[in-house]
Structures are given as C-alpha cells and as structure tokens.
Amino acid sequence: MAKLVLAFIVVSAFLLVSAKKLDDVTELQIGVKYKPETCDIQAHKGDKIKVHYRGKLTDGTVFDSSYERGTPFEFTLGGGQVIKGWDQGLLGMCVGEKRKLKIPSKMGYGDRGSPPKIPGGATLIFDTELIAVNGKSANKGADSEL
C-alpha cells in the first residue's frame, strides 16, 4: 500500500509540474483586449507614459496592482526602467488601449525572480491600460496631470 501511495504522489507531482509548464511561455505574447476607435496618441520609445496594471502569476496570484493603489505607474518607455517585457509589450499602444501581456521569465525577473512575491523562472501576466503619453490623455487632450 505504501508503494501505491508513493507512486501516486510522484505521478501527482509530475502532473503538477507539467501543468505549470503549459502556462509558461518562451516568447512575449501581446493580446489586445480593447482598442479605441481612434488612436490619436500612441506610445513610442522615449515617451513618458502612465500605465495602470495588474500583475499576476500563471496560477492567478496577483503580486502587484496599480489599480488597488489608485495611481498609475509612470516611466520612460524603452529606457530600461522596467522589465523588458513591458518595454517591448507596450510599444505602439494607444492611449485608452488595454493589453494583456504574457511575459516569459527571460523578459521578466529571470531565474532570480523578485522575492518574496515572484518566484524564479516565473512567467508573468499583466493586464495593462495606457492612461497617458507625455502628459496627454485621451479624454483631456493636452498636458493633463492624471
């Protein structure tokens, strides 16, 4: 009986690891969830952008959210201030657009992770919304502080 239980545990562990690997990606995946009818303001390398986001692991665990803080995150796109998956995944995004980014470990936090919330080798999933580019938002037009 003990051998049967041990075999069950080994098989269960293997299936759990295999299921996790199915959710992992090796290349950046960008999914557009919403795109405005017009794209008057678009994000380019070097632009200062404001983004709302929710970051999750593949098991659905939320590790960070600007929505919960009530303040979008601001940074220079392509300036190396954020993970590579963001610098590439947000390029060309329109103000008001929403994207889902599935970021492989190599474009996120790598094998080291970002303890304690992000384990090493983790694929990251971000729901993002572009709020403003260079101080300009879709609904306010010119130099608005959000």
pTM of the model: 0.80
Given the residues 63, 67, 73, 75, the one annotated as active site: 63
Given the residues 41, 49, 87, 109, the one annotated as active site: 109
Judge whether 118 counts as a catalytic residue. Answer: no
In a domain, 100, yes or no: yes
In a domain, 14, yes or no: no
Q: Domain with 38 in it: what CATH number? A: 3.10.50.40
Contacts of 121 (CB under 8 A, 6+ apart): 105, 110, 111, 113
Q: Which domain holds residue 44?
A: 27-137
In a domain, 142, yes or no: no
Judge whether 83 counts as a catalytic residue. Answer: yes
In a domain, 144, yes or no: no
In a domain, 124, yes or no: yes
In a domain, 18, yes or no: no
In a domain, 9, yes or no: no
Contacts of 89 (CB under 8 A, 6+ apart): 28, 30, 99, 101, 103, 126, 128
Number of domains in the chain: 1
In a domain, 11, yes or no: no
Note the pLDDT tens digit of each residue in 46-92.
999 999 999 999 999 999 999 999 999 999 999 999 999 999 999 99
Contacts of 95 (CB under 8 A, 6+ apart): 36, 39, 40, 41, 42, 43, 130, 131, 132, 133, 136, 137, 138
The residue whose two tokens read 């593949």 is 58
pLDDT grade, residue 109 (50/70/90)? very high
Q: Which of 99, 97, 88, 91 is nearest to 38 (CA)?
A: 97
